Amino acid sequence: MKKSNAQNNVAVTASVVTGLSVAERGLGFLYRISLSRLIGAEGLGLYQVALSLFSLFLTIGTGGIPITVSRMISKSKAENRPMDERSAVSAGIFLSLLLTLPVCLLLIPFGDKLGFLFTDDRAFGVFRILLIGLCFSSLYAVFRGSFWGNKQFLLPSVLEIAEESVMVIVGVLLLQNVSSAATGAEKAAWAVVISYLFSFTASFLCFLFKGGKFSKPKNLLKPLFNATMPITSVRASNSLVNSAVAVLLPVMLVRAGLESGEAITLFGIVSGMVMPVLFIPSTVIGSLSLVLVPELSEDFYRKNYDRLKKNIERGLSFSFLLACILIPFFFALGKDLGMLAFSNEKAGEIIAVSAPILLPMSLTMITTSMLNSMGFEKQTFLFYFIGAAAMLLCILLLPSVCGIYAYVIGLGASFILTAVCNLIFLWKKCSFLQKRAGQVRVHRITCPLFFILPISLFGKIADVVFSMFAGELLALFLSALVTAALTLALYLATGLLNVETLKKNFPFRTRRAKKS
């Protein structure tokens, strides 16, 4: 009975966390729609260019600190060393400030010389405003990691959606009747800063209210730094690649024959409109990783390989099926979604073309989180670097051939290479995964892949038919409804989905009942 109650509690927690994450991503998506209408594609492009470089400094200041603090707390609990838990939080705070405060003190007043990094000088003013929130966000990340380590998943999820809500409310209020694209981008940056200040204040008060305490960070500072650097390197490399894309892609588009304003506008479309839509599945994958990582880490250190194997298999299966189910919707309805949400036909075209990226993207996200939770950060850094190199190569060579789609091709190549490397390493390094591997039925892999094309064509035909006699919104809704019905029927008929399978393979139901 205790075990059943514990499993139910974890399943409910995971469901609520996923729901909050979906709500947060949905709120952010609606805000992107508002931004695209309030400041236009050009203003959105300036905002995204500045945000890309800011994300690099934010990643350096946070990077792997939250997940490493979380893992250290899990390890301290497994080894019954409560003082290490306090030291981990203190070490995280010290390291975050060490990596972010000097940046703010130097670049806010004396950062004019960085203007050469931006294709458009107006983006530098936006970047300088964002820097004000750097320390606030990095400190909030440490407290978030402490909540994860104590398996308090609901609290940071609530804080995240509260932060997003503050940004949306402040942003919409500030962006009324903006006079220019640059002014709109700057006001959007101020909304980000205010939301960071809110999340830091709220998380610090919650940390104290939950009985959180600090201790001397000396003993864990070096281990934290050593464990954090590989993860931070991966994420900083990701931010660096994004910054490089923000700089190089407009330049390469200009060299391909576009005007500077056109290049910035196209970058605004792909980064501010298309990418938020494509990364919608990452909300669910992120929630899965959030709850799964502490469990994997604890099982790995306790050498509980049977449960570790089940969680890995279920996490991979969940991510694979989710991507295969969603790809047809993006392919068939992406064009209408882009027009309806952003009033931009180009955005819809790119969304539809980019749909296949969802599969390698989902597998990359979940496998990277799994390997990091088991201490293989250096390997994930190497694999990410391989994928990033392919992406930058596409950005440099393909714009003259396929224009803005060079970014889509580069993103797909990056995810494919990283996912393949992660999966091969996971299979070879974790020998316990190879036990009873033959029990995995082939149809659970081949059927979802086989279904993608017919469901996509069915959805496309349904969209054309409904568009003949219904408005955009109703046609989109009806097309999505009948496509979902066909998807459900095929997956139920082949046994890929049923109530019992979902219960058995839900990744969060394997936590043991020792604390119930």
Q: Are 502 and 4 in contact (CB under 8 A)?
A: no
pLDDT at 276: 80
Question: What is the value of pTM for the model shown?
Answer: 0.67
Length in residues, the chain = 516
pLDDT at 123: 80
Q: Are 204 and 229 in contact (CB under 8 A)?
A: no
Q: Are 386 and 418 in contact (CB under 8 A)?
A: yes
pLDDT at 508: 45
Identify the residue whose tokens are 């075990």: 3
Q: Are 227 and 381 in contact (CB under 8 A)?
A: no
Q: Tell me the pLDDT of the chain (516 aa) as tens digits.
A: 444 444 455 556 656 766 777 777 778 778 888 888 888 878 888 888 888 888 888 888 887 788 888 878 877 777 777 677 778 888 888 888 888 888 888 887 766 666 666 666 778 888 889 999 999 998 998 888 888 777 777 788 888 889 989 999 999 899 888 878 888 889 999 999 999 999 999 999 998 888 777 777 777 777 787 777 766 776 777 777 777 887 788 888 888 888 877 888 888 888 878 888 888 777 667 666 666 666 676 667 667 777 777 777 777 888 888 889 889 999 988 888 888 877 788 888 899 999 999 999 988 988 888 887 777 777 887 888 899 889 989 999 999 888 889 999 999 999 999 999 998 888 877 665 655 544 455 566 788 888 999 999 999 999 889 888 888 788 888 999 999 999 988 888 887 776 555 555 444 444 433 333
Q: Are 26 and 284 in contact (CB under 8 A)?
A: no
CA nearest to 273, candidates 374, 185, 346, 324: 346
pLDDT at 516: 31
CA distance 206 to 202: 6
Relative orientation angle of helices 358-373 and 305-342, to the nearest 10 degrees: 140
Residue 282 phi, psi (nearest 5): -65, -20
Question: Which SS3 state, helix, strand or coil, does residue 114 take?
Answer: helix
pLDDT at 418: 93
How many of the other CB atoms lie within 10 Å of CB of 272? 22
pLDDT at 306: 74
pLDDT at 288: 65
Identify the residue whose tokens are 């803005």: 404
What is the domain partition of the chain in residue ranges? Answer: 12-236, 279-451+489-508
Would residue 435 be called left, alpha or beta, if left means φ above 0 and alpha means ψ between -120 and 50 degrees?
Answer: beta
How many of the other CB atoms lie within 10 Å of CB of 398? 19
Query: Which residues, 6 or more positions from 421, have their beta carbon under 8 angstroms from its beta carbon?
Result: 382, 383, 386, 387
CA distance 75 to 513: 18
Helix (H) or strand (E) holding 86: helix 82-110
Helix (H) or strand (E) holding 172: helix 154-174
How many of the other CB atoms lie within 10 Å of CB of 176? 8
Q: Are 76 and 85 in contact (CB under 8 A)?
A: yes
> Would you call 261 exposed, middle or buried from its count of C-beta atoms within 10 A (0-12, 13-18, 19+)?
middle
CA distance 171 to 150: 33
pLDDT at 482: 92
Q: Are 167 and 193 in contact (CB under 8 A)?
A: no
Query: Is the Cα torsion angle 335, 336, 340, 344 positive or negative in sign?
Result: positive
Q: What angle do CA 61, 290, 373 make, to 5 degrees?
A: 75
Tokens standing for residue 350: 């790119």
DSSP-assigned letters across all residues of 450-512? HHHHHHHHHHHHHHHHHHTTS-HHHHHHHHHHHHHHHHHHHHHHTTSS-HHHHHHH-TTTT--
pLDDT at 286: 67
